[in-house]
């Protein structure tokens, strides 16, 4: 499934803003694909049973998050005069809309890294350290609950 379907399903995911709804949809898409591989109805079994039967780990959402973080690091390593970096770091002029603000792409980055923007930008300057950090974030996810893991001295909390 990963060789043929995921590239089509995740095309351009580096720039996606993931809200809870999108995360749920990605997990449902992965579950549906695994159920097709195992040849069971998605309503018949639990997600843990299907992943154990298929002998795979849930990784679609983690892959999307890692690609987002990788893209963020790529852009933050550019020169200050780069237009894309300026757009990512600066805010738009004008008044804010009424109501609860929508989740922004940079809000996802702040949530996943648990770092202030300045510190995450500083961290991206060291490419090897950032690459290890990005590759370490999704691998700490487990199916049966929350786990806190130390990655490069930073405590991160991940969803199940």
Distance between CA atoms of 127 and 75, rounded to whole angstroms? 12
Across 120-142, average pLDDT = 75
Which residues are CB-neighbours of 53 under 8 A, at least 6 positions away? 38, 40, 45
Model confidence at 4, pLDDT cuts 50, 70, 90, reads low
The dihedral sign for the CA sequence 71, 76, 82, 87: positive
Interhelix angle 20-38/47-54, nearest 10 degrees:
50
Across 135-152, average pLDDT = 43
> Cβ(31)–Cβ(62) under 8 Å?
no
- To the nearest whole number, what is the mean pLDDT of the chain? 76
For the stretch 61-116, pLDDT in tens is 888 999 999 999 998 888 877 888 877 777 667 777 788 888 888 888 888 888 88
């Amino acid at each position: 499934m990963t060789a043929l379907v995921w590239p089509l399903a995740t095309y351009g995911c580096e720039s996606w803003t993931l809200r809870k709804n999108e995360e749920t949809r990605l997990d449902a898409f992965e579950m549906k694909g695994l159920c097709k591989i195992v040849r069971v109805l998605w309503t018949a079994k639990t997600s843990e049973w299907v992943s154990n039967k298929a002998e795979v780990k849930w990784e679609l959402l983690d892959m999307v998050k890692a690609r987002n973080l990788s893209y963020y690091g790529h852009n933050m390593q550019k020169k200050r005069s780069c237009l894309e970096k300026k757009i990512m770091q600066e805010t738009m002029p004008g008044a804010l809309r009424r109501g609860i603000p929508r989740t922004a792409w940079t809000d996802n980055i702040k949530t996943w890294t648990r770092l202030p923007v300045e510190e995450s930008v500083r961290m991206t300057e060291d490419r090897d350290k950032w690459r290890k950090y990005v590759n370490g974030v999704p691998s700490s996810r487990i199916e049966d609950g929350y786990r806190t893991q130390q990655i490069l001295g930073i405590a991160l909390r991940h969803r199940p």
